[in-house]
Structure 1
Amino acid sequence: MNPSDWIDHGTLPPQRLPAGAGDAIAYLADVLGHVVYTRWTLAMIRQRHASLPDAKAARPAVMRVLLDHEAAVEYWDRGRVRTVTVDAAPAAEAVLARVLHTHRRRFRPVPEGGEFVATGEPEREAAALMTLPPPLVEWLARAGRFAAVASATNTLGVGDDAQAAALFLRDRASRSPHTLRAYRTELRRLVTWCEARQLGPLSDLTRHDLLAYRQALRRPAPETVGDTPRRMSEALQSRALAVIASLFRYWTETGYLSANPAAGLVRGGRSRASFAPQRMLPPALLAACDAWVTEAAAGDDPLVTARRRAIWALYRYAGVRLIELVWSDEAQLPKVEVDGHDSWTLHVLGKGSRTRAIPLPAVCVSVLRTYRELRGLPSQPPLLEHAALVHGLKGGSLKGSGLYDEVKAIFVAAAERLANADPEGAARLRQASPHWLRHAYARQMIVDHQVPLPVAQALLGHASVQTTAAYAKTDLSQLRAFVEGAFASHDAPHSVARPRASQRN
């Protein structure tokens, strides 16, 4: 393989890799921030480090091999650094090919013909259209009277609703498969309603049409369950309207629509004010899970155990959403940074593509250090490191389903341990999901430690402080403490003196 036939699309402008395998490996190690393939000898160690004790502290695995062999090889494999003898090491070209395949979203071979062109907007639009089912694309492939197709303000540069809707899904829902599925469902629901009333396309709908759609969502559906008409829940109504309002707002902000007929369709304050999280675990059950993670082994491989503990610690002590620990090549997030005071900060990509910085407590940092060392990474992440925060055992990074399974396995294992002593607690643990840890983090901050709401809002990444404040409604203990403190000086009711008879007259 010729490395120069590969293009790095992570740079602006995209560029070819160096021609030689050694130069290409050095380039990848520089841009990815981790070892790719390095052959070590004692002479190289002496050149790189001031003394052998320094080298032993920095590269213990390499020094162990060099004690009995003339050379050692460090190479990147499935998200971790492996150190072996020269005879046991794979070929450098094979490691290079595997790393390029692992980062195939960033590094791509030159198309046939020897020319390469950076991916442009038409190609991205075509890829985005694949997120919509063909019947929906066919119905949407029109433009209504409010579509500013030929206007210079149409920054999307598309000519029909199908392309505009696909770009909306790409920009607003592509981070999470669950969000993408929910958005597609709401688009189909609105299209089905329009077809039944011979309305459309979507860029032709008026404010009167969308208000009628809102009323239709509130009425029972024609289908019945038994003798009772089935009515859409308020939560589902809110979601349906929020997605449609977001679609029309996106089209208006990007200039595809000349006006926004969905303005004011959703009143978010009321729904946020009524939000009250219920899916929480009491401290005793969280402690049971902590104990299982600390004591139990997840197999013979220490790396598997360390990875599971790191995943648990990040969800437990950072309060992140499930998707926020999934590696993004485009954003190079999530990642951990360490400042000069040895303080660790987790950076994630949250809702609305907003980045968020979360300070990590010492109990989480120690777990991450151990995990990184077992992966062959420096115990403290360097400034320009681009390794995935959580690696996949078969290469690359661990995806959302894998992260979910790891946390779920901890809940199930802790439930089995509690099954006899606390069957109700065990049943609750079996129902739990990773998002319950986010609720627990929020409750511990707001209720247990009375963190100011704006601070908690920033840590949790809530768009509205009303959502953050809802956690205070889940427990009366804080309110009870305030009441008890306010009346602490009134330990016993005071007797009221009865006035004398002369005073009563």
Structure 2
Amino acid sequence: MSNVLIFANTALMGEIAAWLGALRAERQASEETVEAYERDLRQFMTFLTTYHARPSQLADFADLKPMELRAFLASRRRDGAGAKSLGRGLSGIRSFLRHLERKGLASSAGAKAMRAPRQTKSLPRPLTIAGALDVTEEADAFSTEAWIGARDVAVLTLLYGCGLRISEALALRGNALADPAERSMPITGKGGKVRLVPLIPAVHEAVGRYRALCPFDLSAHETLFRGARGGPLRPQIVQRNMARLRGALGLPPSATPHALRHSFATHLLAAGGDLRTIQDLLGHASLSTTQAYTAIDSARLLSIYDGAHPRARRKPAIDTKP
């Protein structure tokens, strides 16, 4: 939070620290969310410093006007920020204002009156079934050591086979998936929410091979997936390996590790999976988030219909009468 301190007085510094602490302890926000909110507030206070020609003060938040927020969003848009970034920035400011309001130090009315920038909803971009299988089967193609190749296969198989986020897979402890008879395992997702994911034989096989080859201690107090020197495996390594696979397999730029999670949901839905069940498997808090996959499946069904239905394929008769 050192960059924030440049633009804030002592009283405001203390409230920022208390707010970030509450996000972690009470709201159980992930470290990534806390960092993003802190960064957004820092940007806002940088703007206020220029706007008022002095460092930000707690009094600046006591009765924040929509005009000041609109000016901030306009400046961020001029700097190239998109609707998603602007919306998250506004959300972070609102969160801080609610913290101050609960302590009687500010009013959040001005921020509540602001409408978040309209965002265009992009559909998830899954791989094809063939593409997802190719990725999980060829994930060891660039590894110089057998155990590292087995690790890469195991990680990507977990993302596709269980629908895990990359952070969830890399957070698994060393004793996870040690029993091949296990048919499900608990996963702690966003906001500390725990869900059960089923374990298919392919996942047990991939992780079991990695466990057998890994040269490091895989006990409960260590992480399951390890880097080349024995430390926890970093997401950047998985992403870099996926980028190599994209090139080798001729996959589009959208073929990222997270796309395997999208593929898990899309392929389940296409095979007749229930939307509520898929919501639970993904750990989505809202069904509306999961419903994005129905748009993908609808497009697939329409494509099949256009190519297979007799009335869709039949060409209209040509009237030759004058």
Indicate how the Cα distance of structure 1 residues 173 and 433 shifts in structure 2: closer, same or farther if over 3 A, else same: farther
Match of residue 261, structure 1, among 79, 102, 108? 108
Alpha-carbon distance in structure 2 between the residues aligned to 1:385 and 1:334:
5
Alpha-carbon distance in structure 2 between the residues aligned to 1:215 and 1:435:
34
Alpha-carbon distance in structure 2 between the residues aligned to 1:174 and 1:334:
26
Kindly indicate whether residue 128 of structure 2 is the aligned counterpart of residue 282 of structure 1. yes
Contact residue 142 and residue 162 of structure 1 kept, 8 A? no
Which residue in the other structure is 1:152 paired with? none
AA partner of residue 259 (structure 2): W
Aligned pairs (5 A) from 1:440-455: 440-446=263-269, 448-455=270-277
Alpha-carbon distance in structure 2 between the residues aligned to 1:251 and 1:336:
45
Which residue in the other structure is 1:356 paired with? 195
**Displacement of 1:197 after TM fit?**
3.5
**Displacement of 1:454 after TM fit?**
2.3
**Displacement of 1:186 after TM fit?**
0.6
**Displacement of 1:191 after TM fit?**
0.5
Contact residue 185 and residue 199 of structure 2 kept, 8 A? yes
Where 1:305 maps in the other structure, the secondary structure is: helix
Which residue in the other structure is 1:246 paired with? 95
Which residue in the other structure is 2:319 paired with? none
AA partner of residue 74 (structure 2): R
Aligned pairs (5 A) from 1:296-311: 296=141, 298-299=143-144, 301-311=145-155
Which residue in the other structure is 1:160 paired with? 14
TM-score after normalising by structure 1: 0.50
Which residue in the other structure is 2:46 paired with? 192
Aligned pairs (5 A) from 1:51-70: none
Aligned pairs (5 A) from 1:319-468: 319-327=163-171, 335-336=176-177, 342-375=181-214, 385-401=220-236, 405-413=237-245, 415-416=247-248, 418=249, 425-426=250-251, 428-429=252-253, 432-446=255-269, 448-468=270-290
Percent identical among aligned pairs is 24
Where 1:187 maps in the other structure, the secondary structure is: helix
Match of residue 236, structure 1, among 85, 97, 117? 85
Match of residue 61, structure 2, among 194, 205, 224? 205
Contact residue 298 and residue 304 of structure 1 kept, 8 A? yes
Match of residue 470, structure 1, among 283, 292, 300? 292
Aligned pairs (5 A) from 1:143-158: 143=11
Alpha-carbon distance in structure 1 between the residues aligned to 2:186 and 2:169:
10
Contact residue 245 and residue 265 of structure 1 kept, 8 A? no
Where 2:11 maps in the other structure, the secondary structure is: coil
Give CA deviations for 1:77-125 in whole Å, capped at 9, x if unaligned: xxxxxxxxxxxxxxxxxxxxxxxxxxxxxxxxxxxxxxxxxxxxxxxxx
Q: How many equivalent residue pairs?
A: 308
Where 2:195 maps in the other structure, the secondary structure is: strand
AA partner of residue 360 (structure 1): L
**Displacement of 1:374 after TM fit?**
2.7
TM-score after normalising by structure 2: 0.74
Indicate how the Cα distance of structure 1 residues 297 and 185 shifts in structure 2: closer, same or farther if over 3 A, else same: closer
Where 2:211 maps in the other structure, the secondary structure is: helix
Aligned pairs (5 A) from 1:107-126: none
**Displacement of 1:250 after TM fit?**
5.1
Contact residue 277 and residue 470 of structure 1 kept, 8 A? yes
The answer to which structure, 1 or 2, has the higher relative contact order (CA under 8 A, 6+ apart) is 2
Alpha-carbon distance in structure 1 between the residues aligned to 2:62 and 2:105:
12
Alpha-carbon distance in structure 1 between the residues aligned to 2:59 and 2:24:
19
Indicate how the Cα distance of structure 1 residues 203 and 412 shifts in structure 2: closer, same or farther if over 3 A, else same: farther
AA partner of residue 184 (structure 1): E
Where 2:131 maps in the other structure, the secondary structure is: helix
Contact residue 9 and residue 58 of structure 2 kept, 8 A? no
**Displacement of 1:309 after TM fit?**
1.3
**Displacement of 1:389 after TM fit?**
2.0
Alpha-carbon distance in structure 1 between the residues aligned to 2:171 and 2:105:
37
Alpha-carbon distance in structure 1 between the residues aligned to 2:312 and 2:171:
57
**Displacement of 1:203 after TM fit?**
6.8
CA RMSD of the aligned region, Å? 4.2
Which residue in the other structure is 2:320 paired with? none
Where 2:39 maps in the other structure, the secondary structure is: helix
Alpha-carbon distance in structure 1 between the residues aligned to 2:131 and 2:24:
39
Higher-Rg member (1/2): 1
Contact residue 188 and residue 195 of structure 2 kept, 8 A? yes
Contact residue 292 and residue 410 of structure 1 kept, 8 A? no
Q: Note the residue ranges of structure 2 that are not aligned, 5 or more in a row.
A: 315-322
